[in-house]
Chains A and B, each alone.
Chain A
Amino acid sequence: MSRYVIAPLKDFETRDRMIVTVAGRSIGVFRIDGEFFAVRNQCPHAGGPLCQGELGGIVRSSQPGEFDYARRGEFLRCPWHSWEFDLRTGRSWFDPDRVRVRAYEAAVLAGGEVIGCGVKEIEHEARQPGPYTVETYPIRVEDAYVVVDV
């Protein structure tokens, strides 16, 4: 397993997710309030682009007409068939043991923790592989970065 820098923390100030390619895998990185989560961008059901789906809460009910709505924004719904996945665990709501998407550890590190610790940088989707010079982030000690273990 390696640790990858996804982006500077400030890039998440105006967005709640970023879909990136890490070690050949498409992964969605999500910000929920101050926490970060990452899951594979591929629904285990039919391979849909899971991380393009809507975020919502989970609703439970003890009887008809009662709606217990909790953990708003922490469940990802696949855009293809609306199956729900818990961003914290990658487990589906309806069959959490058997239907689950791969979840990865995500964290925020200070620049000083990133420099010199073997953290890899990723190529963002906008940059195609090929014979060109990859533009990389200059890691600055005073900034913070979102990292994912893949």
Chain B
Amino acid sequence: MKTLAFSGCLAGAIDCDVHNAVPSVKVLYPYLSDYWQDFMAEAGDPSLEPNYYPVNSAIAARPEARGAGFPPGADPEALIAQVLDRTGAKRAILNCLYGVPALYNEYWAAAMASAVNDWVADAWLSRDPRLSASIVVAPQSPDAAVAEIERRAADGRFVQVLLPARTQMPVGRRYYWPIYEAAARHGLPVCIHAGGGGAGQPPTPAGWPTYYVEEYLAVAQGFQGQLVSLVAEGVFAKVPGLKVVFAESGFTWLPSLMWRLDKNWKGLRREVPWVDRLPSEIIREHLRITLQPLDEPSELRRLVETIDHIQSDQMLLFSSDYPHWHYDAEGPLPAGLSPDAVRNLLFANAERTYRFHA
């Protein structure tokens, strides 16, 4: 069995995308009302474990994260040992990707989101002060999402709001603005994470793909559409304090998107006059992106050149994407970054983005 082979080089890191899994839907029942408990029982205790990818395929999870009888990432002891103790990372943000955003019943989704957050607080956050978590909300119901944000905001262990990258409408639309306003009101970034579903949204902007490899890669294109939506719809003009974190989006597409958006804004800005400066400036100010999974050109310096094209070393947040399996002995960091860039990437950018509890 392989083990993480980069122990030591991540000392002090803040891992901004770690996935804890719900071992069984029944662990959530104590946090559901009588009505929803019986609703679930009547439906045969349906798991909401997402099927964004073939979870049992070899590349889906690091071997050491697997255990018998529960999904990778469901064992707190293993996660804490592998993500924090072995690497020297000082903190991890848990993004629990349960299938809440895929439900059609928005009331059920809101109840499940709240239950997941209660369970995360009890089963994970209370176990180790190095763990922080995202607030799971139901984007199907912005009203309920705002209520859930208000319910959690005083608990400093919750550091951001989690939305899926596949939403019923582009995420810039006014429908979602109450979520952004509530998050910003409490100093919480909104993390938009790969996945989601529901309402028949395909995982690629081109439609439904045939193969896993298509879906795996085309996620990045969906994120690009969401970023342009956030800028063009004026989310950052409306909520100037908002930070958005893209997780598992990749980032090598960012320079070309900023170039093109700046270019076309000069001629088309009359349509979106609230975009009152170069879109690339707005993006650099408001967007943060997690590191893994990383694009890997055959010549490693190409990746550092691409990061240089972003013209900011403040945007990238370190992430392992545990338990997903993206790297081995070479470790999670791009080779050839300056010491300052590594420092920003490992923890300084995260400390500027999040309000962590003591």
Q: Is B266 in contact with A59, judged by CB distance below 8 angstroms?
A: no
Q: Is B274 in contact with A81, judged by CB distance below 8 angstroms?
A: no
B259 to chain A, nearest CB (A): 15
Q: Is B234 in contact with A94, judged by CB distance below 8 angstroms?
A: no
Pick from B233, B265, B270: contact of A59, CB below 8 A.
Answer: B270
- Docked complex Cα distance between A83 and B174 (Å): 28
> In the assembled complex, which residues on chain B have CB atoms less than 8 Å from the CB atom of A94?
265-266, 269, 278
Q: Is A61 in contact with B273, judged by CB distance below 8 angstroms?
A: yes
Q: Is B234 in contact with A64, judged by CB distance below 8 angstroms?
A: yes
CB of B38 closer than 8 Å to a CB of A: no
A77 to chain B, nearest CB (A): 8
CB of B200 closer than 8 Å to a CB of A: no
Tell whether A82 pairs with B238 under 8 Å between CB atoms, given A59-B273, A64-B274: no
List residues of B (234-284) whose CB comes within 8 Å of A's CBs. 234, 237-238, 265-270, 273-274, 276, 278
- Docked complex Cα distance between A93 and B268 (Å): 12
Q: Is B273 in contact with A60, judged by CB distance below 8 angstroms?
A: yes
Question: Which of chain A's residues has its CB closest to B236's CB?
Answer: A64
Q: Is B238 in contact with A63, judged by CB distance below 8 angstroms?
A: yes
List residues of A (79-113) whose CB comes within 8 Å of B's CBs. 81-84, 93-94
> In the assembled complex, which residues on chain A have CB atoms less than 8 Å from the CB atom of B174?
64
- Docked complex Cα distance between A94 and B265 (Å): 9
Q: Is A81 in contact with B238, judged by CB distance below 8 angstroms?
A: no
- Docked complex Cα distance between A67 and B233 (Å): 14
- Docked complex Cα distance between A121 and B68 (Å): 93
Q: Is A82 in contact with B268, judged by CB distance below 8 angstroms?
A: yes
Q: Is A81 in contact with B273, judged by CB distance below 8 angstroms?
A: no
Pick from A60, A63, A64, A83: contact of B266, CB below 8 A.
Answer: A83
Q: Is A81 in contact with B266, judged by CB distance below 8 angstroms?
A: yes
Tell whether A81 pairs with B234 under 8 Å between CB atoms, given A60-B276, A61-B274, A63-B274: no
Pick from A62, A64, A81: contact of B267, CB below 8 A.
Answer: A81
> In the assembled complex, which residues on chain B have CB atoms less than 8 Å from the CB atom of A56?
270
> In the assembled complex, which residues on chain A have CB atoms less than 8 Å from the CB atom of B273?
59-61, 67-68
Q: Is B267 in contact with A82, judged by CB distance below 8 angstroms?
A: yes
B12 to chain A, nearest CB (A): 40
Q: How many pairs, one residue from A and one from B, have CB atoms within 8 Å of each other in the complex? A: 38
Q: Is A83 in contact with B237, judged by CB distance below 8 angstroms?
A: no
Pick from B233, B265, B268: contact of A64, CB below 8 A.
Answer: B233
Q: Is A83 in contact with B238, judged by CB distance below 8 angstroms?
A: no
A65, A83, A94: residue with the most chain B Cβ atoms closer than 10 Å: A94
> In the assembled complex, which residues on chain A have CB atoms less than 8 Å from the CB atom of B238?
63-64
B258 to chain A, nearest CB (A): 15
B260 to chain A, nearest CB (A): 13
Q: Is A83 in contact with B267, judged by CB distance below 8 angstroms?
A: yes
> In the assembled complex, which residues on chain A have CB atoms less than 8 Å from the CB atom of B268?
82
> In the assembled complex, which residues on chain A have CB atoms less than 8 Å from the CB atom of B233?
64
User: When each residue 18-40 of chain B gets 1 if its CB lies under 8 Å from chain A and 0 otherwise, what string results?
Assistant: 00000000000000000000000
Q: Is B234 in contact with A63, judged by CB distance below 8 angstroms?
A: yes
Question: Which of chain B's residues has its CB closest to A81's CB?
Answer: B267
Question: Which of chain A's residues has its CB closest to B275's CB?
Answer: A61
Q: Is B276 in contact with A61, judged by CB distance below 8 angstroms?
A: yes
> In the assembled complex, which residues on chain B have CB atoms less than 8 Å from the CB atom of A63?
234, 237-238, 274
- Docked complex Cα distance between A64 and B265 (Å): 16
A122 to chain B, nearest CB (A): 32
List residues of A (29-76) whose CB comes within 8 Å of B's CBs. 56, 59-68
> In the assembled complex, which residues on chain B have CB atoms less than 8 Å from the CB atom of A81?
266-267
Q: Report 18 cross-chain contacts, Cβ distance below 8 Å, ordered by A residue.
A: A59-B270, A60-B276, A61-B234, A61-B237, A61-B273, A61-B274, A62-B274, A63-B238, A64-B237, A64-B238, A64-B274, A65-B234, A82-B267, A83-B266, A83-B267, A84-B270, A94-B265, A94-B269
Identify 20 new A-B residue pairs, CB closer than 8 A, beyond the known A56-B270, A63-B234, A82-B266: A59-B270, A61-B234, A61-B273, A64-B174, A64-B233, A64-B234, A64-B237, A64-B238, A64-B274, A65-B234, A66-B274, A67-B273, A81-B266, A81-B267, A82-B267, A82-B268, A83-B266, A83-B267, A93-B269, A94-B265
Residues of chain A whose beta carbon lies under 8 Å from any beta carbon of chain B:
56, 59-68, 81-84, 93-94
Q: Top 9 closest A-B pairs, CB basis?
A: A64-B234, A82-B267, A61-B273, A61-B274, A59-B273, A81-B267, A64-B274, A59-B270, A94-B266
